Structure formats: C-alpha cells, structure tokens
Amino acid sequence: MIHVVAKNYIKEGKTEEFITVAKQLVKETNEKDSGCIRYELFQDLSNPQVLTIMEEWENKEALDKHMAAKHFKELTAAFAELAEKPGEINLYSKLA
Amino acid sequence: MIHVVAKNYIKEGKTEEFITVAKQLVKETNEKDSGCIRYELFQDLSNPQVLTIMEEWENKEALDKHMAAKHFKELTAAFAELAEKPGEINLYSKLA
C-alpha cells in the first residue's frame, strides 16, 4: 500500500478555481484508475489556501499509471499557475 | 469530521526511538480516545526521517480531549528532542 499526501499552496482568489479542477480530478481518478483505494481533497481549517489531496494506492505501479493518465496530466496542468509556491508531495508506507 | 496530518522531521539516528514512542501513542490513542476514527503512523519512502501521523476525528472536541490526555502529553514530550526541525500540523476538512 502507498499513501500519498500532496499539499498545495494556492494563490489568494484562486482557491475556488483550484477546488473545481481538483474535484474533477478526484471524480475521474476514482472512476478510472484501478488500484486506487482512496483519493480525497481536503482544505486546511485555518488557511483555506492550503489544499491537499490524500491518496491510498494498492501499489507503486497503480500510482505510476495514474500519474501517466491523460486526465491526471490535463487536470494537474492547471495547478501550476494557481499555485502560490511549490507544493509538497510525500509518498508514505504505513508503520502502525 | 476533522482530518489531521502531523508531519515530523526526525534527527538522523533517532528515527527508531521516535517510531517506538509514536507506535505507543498510536496504540494508546486507539484504545483510550473516544471519537478517534483513524490514528496511524507513516514513514516517507524516500526520506526515512520524515515520520507523519495521520488522524481522523469525529469532531474538534474529540481531538481537543485527545491533545489534553495524559498519554498524549507524556509521549509527545519526547518528540521535541528527537526533532531535527519543527514539524507541521494541518487540520483539514474534507471537500471531496
């Protein structure tokens, strides 16, 4: 199992636009990508510009296929211009 | 529901010690704290010094009670001296 936390720092005034695109990504990923156990969008309670996608994948292969998929590439292409600064992506294994 | 990502940056050579304490915290939290839906420990696949606890709570009240609990205070007291730099804690609500 691979757990992913993809944390985005979005420009003020661009959060709604990001949320719309990210929700579409959540929808299409859940529909199309095999091996996807969990793929969810979250917003920080104290800073609405912090928008994070938390994911769980059966294995690295499933995650790699997702990141090569058309819908992922097209939808995340919009993220860069909405970002205030580079995000952080961590791939985790569960210890306990 | 409240989702928490508590990311820790642990000193080289201190990760095993942190993992031992964090596993005890995971165990006691799951046993003792009502309103705890998920409380798990993860290690970054590319940087073993990044150790993150991901949590899910029924509401803020349950999370606050947890952070006031004896086992939380005692076990997390050890975290500070094991840390290479301050961690990051984000409290999230789920959007999708």
Domains of chain A: 2-91 (3.30.70.100)
Residue B4 CB partners (closer than 8 Å, separation 6+): B53, B54, B55, B56, B57, B63, B89, B90, B91, B92
Residue from A42, A52, A59, A89 whose CB has the most chain B CBs within 10 Å, to mutate: A42
Q: What pLDDT score does A73 carry?
A: 96
What amino acid is encoded at B8 in this protein? N
Cβ separation A90–B52 shorter than 8 A:
yes
Cβ separation A42–B94 shorter than 8 A:
yes
Measured between beta carbons, which residues in chain B are less than 8 angstroms from residue A90?
7, 44, 50, 52
3-class secondary-structure state, position B91: strand
Tens of pLDDT, residues B10-40? 999 999 999 999 999 999 999 999 999 999 9
In angstroms, the separation between the Cα of residue B60 and the nearest Cα of chain A is: 11
Q: DSSP characters for chain A?
A: -EEEEEEEEEPTT-HHHHHHHHHHHHHHHHHH-TTEEEEEEEEESS-TTEEEEEEEESSHHHHHHHHHSHHHHHHHHTHHHHEEEEEEEEEEEE--
Average pLDDT over chain A reads 97
Q: What pLDDT score does B50 carry?
A: 98
Q: What pLDDT score does A59 carry?
A: 97
Cα–Cα distance measured from residue A91 to residue B27, given in angstroms and rounded to the nearest whole number: 23
In angstroms, the separation between the Cα of residue B12 and the nearest Cα of chain A is: 18
Residues of B contacting chain A (CB within 8 angstroms): 2-3, 5, 7, 19, 22-23, 26-27, 40-46, 50-52, 54, 90-96
Reported ipTM: 0.94
What is the CA angle B62-B90-A22, rounded to 5? Answer: 110
Q: How many CB atoms lie within 10 A of CB A28?
A: 17
Measured between beta carbons, which residues in chain A are less than 8 angstroms from residue B15?
none
3-class secondary-structure state, position B75: helix
Average pLDDT over chain B reads 97
Query: Is-contact A44 A52, C-beta < 8 A?
Result: yes
